[in-house]
Amino acid sequence: MRRSYPFGSPAPPPLQLAGPIRALLLLAALAAACSPLAASRAHLVADPETVFLPAAPQGGSSTASLTLLNLGDSPLELLELTLTGTGFFAQGCDAPLLLEPHEACVLTVGYRWPPDQDPGTHAGRLTLASSDPKRPRLDLDLIAPGLTAWLVVSPDRVDFGPTPSGTTDTHRVHVVNVGRTTVYPLLEWAGPAPDFSAAICLLRPPAPPDCSSMTTMPPGSTAEIEVSYTPRGGDSDQAALQLSWSGGSRQIAVSGRQDLEPPH
């Protein structure tokens, strides 16, 4: 029977449910929320989430691929890709991009090694912004390991200054292999250098310097380039000495001038 309440009378008390009935209603609400229809959403997955790039030669670049996949049941919009870290780059999966459920795209990431870059390991980050409701921002770590071949040369300029005619002066250039592989350095003049000569000598203390023509430099080894100048005529001389190896090269500027002052 339906009950009525006169106007202005106190409101009826709220309906109180028994414990078992309340529990059943809560379970029904939870089941509805977890049903496949309610859970339908976009979900972005990256494989891998940490990208280790292969080692590269000096001045070169290395690349690796990763897959972006929509594992959800609704279309996903890839809104933006942002790179942090000098030298890193990405190609493919240009945003904005729509990925249907279970659709994937392949993204290429890489690192360009500048010729004068520190050869140690470098890290970057790729940030993906998407319509994934649970994870709208996805950060991926990018790791670029040390270079396979890297020679540090110091100094890169040799100036003999005034040198008496018929005498020989020698300067030394220090070379260190800070890369991860053995290199086979080659010395050659980039142009005519009749008054200059050079040889590279591997240092293995306490043994004497190894100045053989087939010198190899293992990782961590040091060497010296002996540059000699014997002026034979003319006021000044200039030349370029090229130090090259598989994956890179360095040029050393060499100059000197004949001392025309008569001896006292």
Which CATH number fits the domain that encloses residue 250?
Answer: 2.60.40.10
- Report the phi/psi class of residue 204: left, alpha or beta, with left for phi > 0 and alpha for psi in -120 to 50: beta
* Cα 51 to Cα 66: distance, rounded to the nearest angstrom: 8
DSSP class of residue 23? H
* Cα 216 to Cα 214: distance, rounded to the nearest angstrom: 6
Q: What pLDDT digit, counting tens, does each position of 179-196 carry? A: 778 888 899 999 888 999
Q: Which of 128, 144, 160 delimits the end of a domain?
A: 144
Band (pLDDT 50/70/90 cuts) for residue 149 is confident
Q: Are 140 and 185 found together in one domain?
A: no
Helix (H) or strand (E) holding 186: strand 186-189
DSSP class of residue 93? S
Count of domains for the chain = 2
CB 228 within 8 A of CB 158: no
Could you tell me if residue 14 is inside a domain? no
Query: Looking at residues 38-59, what average pLDDT do you find?
Result: 81
For residue 185, say if its preceding peptide bond is cis, omega within 30 degrees of 0: no
CB 261 within 8 A of CB 165: no
What is the predicted pLDDT for the residue at 263?
Answer: 54
Q: Are 108 and 159 found together in one domain?
A: no
The predicted model scores a pTM of 0.53
Q: Are 155 and 232 found together in one domain?
A: yes
CB 72 within 8 A of CB 43: yes
Domain that holds residue 212: 151-259
